Amino acid sequence: MSDDYNDADTRAVPGSRRARMGQFGRLAGGLAGGIVAEGARRLAEGKRPRLNELLLTPGNVGRVADRLSELRGAAMKLGQMVSMDAGDILPPELAQIMARLRENAHSMPPKQLEAVLAKDWGTGWRRDFKYFNPRPLAAASIGQVHRATTRDGRDLAIKVQYPGVRESIDADVDNVATLLRVSGLLPKELDIAPLLEEAKTQLHEEADYQREARQMRAFRELLAGEDDYIVPDFHEDLTTTNVLAMDFVPGRPIESLEEEPHDVRNAMMERLISLVLRELFDFRLMQTDPNFANYRISEDGTRLVLLDFGAAREVPPHVAENYRTLLEAGLAEDHAAIAEAAIAAGFLSRHAADTHRDGLDRIISVIVAELSRPGLFDFGDRAFVKTIREEGIAIAQDRAAWHLPPAEILFAQRKISGTALLAARMKAKVNVRELVTEKLASLPKP
């Protein structure tokens, strides 16, 4: 490892709680300055702007995205957790922030990386390696990944956690929640406290690389002997709470499938959707982070490489049963049963269902019509999303209808929605109805 590596994308991670609080303080100061300047400009034009209009200017959107990216850790991860398909759901200003947070974070400078590795591996750690590339393969919200070869010939990917991430999770989550509250994007009536606590729990789990190693091995065992998937194994002698050493699996980004023929894209997306159904109903263990970077295509182009198991969670029996009831109602095209199943699962409040019955029925009608078409479902045809979005926005005007589903449903649905988004990106066509029907038929009777 050489200290002469220097790149514009490197930036030291603020490791102490005091330093991170200072970053949030500077962000707040920058936002306040932006509000004052924009407010003065609009008043000079004879306008009476609202606070959320002043906060969500392009300049302030950039300040939020850049500061959260620099902080990394929970601050950046929270943005990524709600960013899937943001353009269809979130206000445009917030969607801009989330889109920027889906990009790679800055990586650590070499000296900070050296300090992190020396703390966990000891100052003589280089003696164990023939090669260690200081330039990361990837840099994300909680850590960055490096290519390395050990003296005994193991070809590894080494994930190194940013300093201070674990210790700052609770404070970062609370600070981001405060920013959302101040922006006016979240109504005061919406109780997000349970979700915030669950987010903290998951982020603490993701920051424990020994836990991730165990989850990785669990998936490796569940998929052992199957030709469609590759799950790397971890190396216990080099894995700590802050460093995860795993097999390096050659491959290419899953987005590269866009250049492949339709039949290849369709086959890969069918495998991924089948895997999600197995996670939900068979494994009762789901990797809940659908970030595209967590999937790759093997070198020979035939298999899915599965990465990053920090967000793997057990699926509670009642969650699987709720999805089963909802899917069975959908296959039967029973609108009333679909609505009741959605309420029982926690997707909808009773108030929203009763008060906005017509709008909800139009949403259900569109979804049922799309999924009931015989043959392949065309993920690339998203014309129906416009109708769902318009009806959803109309319902959302009633803030009393705002409702947060239980966290365990949100995490599972995030994986399902993210998988659908990836299939849409690939313009894949998959017989989803057949996959669901076969899976439900294989389950024991309740």
Catalytic residue annotation = 289
250: exposed, middle or buried (C-beta count within 10 Å: 0-12, 13-18, 19+)? Answer: exposed
395 in helix, strand or coil? helix
DSSP string across 24-79: HHHHHHHHHHHHHHHHHHHHHTT----HHHHHTSHHHHHHHHHHHHHH-HHHHHHH
Residue 160 has φ and ψ, to the nearest 5°, of -115, 125
Cα–Cα distances in Å, from 55 out to 48, 176, 323? 14, 14, 39
Distance, in Å, from the CA atom of 217 to the CA atom of 355, rounded to the nearest integer, reads 47
Q: What single letter denotes the amino acid at residue 24?
A: F
Q: How many CB atoms lie within 10 A of CB 244?
A: 28
Is the Cα dihedral 252, 253, 259, 264 positive or negative?
positive
Edge to edge, the sheet with strand 229-230 lists 229-230, 304-306, 295-298, 251-253
Residue 312's H or E segment, with its range, is strand 312-314
Residue 145 has φ and ψ, to the nearest 5°, of -120, 135
Owner of token pair 């400078």: 109
Distance, in Å, from the CA atom of 94 to the CA atom of 62, rounded to the nearest integer, reads 11
Distance, in Å, from the CA atom of 18 to the CA atom of 280, rounded to the nearest integer, reads 41
Q: Pairing relation of β-strands 304-306 and 229-230?
A: parallel
Cα–Cα distances in Å, from 431 out to 369, 374, 439? 14, 8, 13
151: exposed, middle or buried (C-beta count within 10 Å: 0-12, 13-18, 19+)? Answer: exposed
Angle at 217 (CA atoms; ends 213, 220), nearest 5 degrees = 140
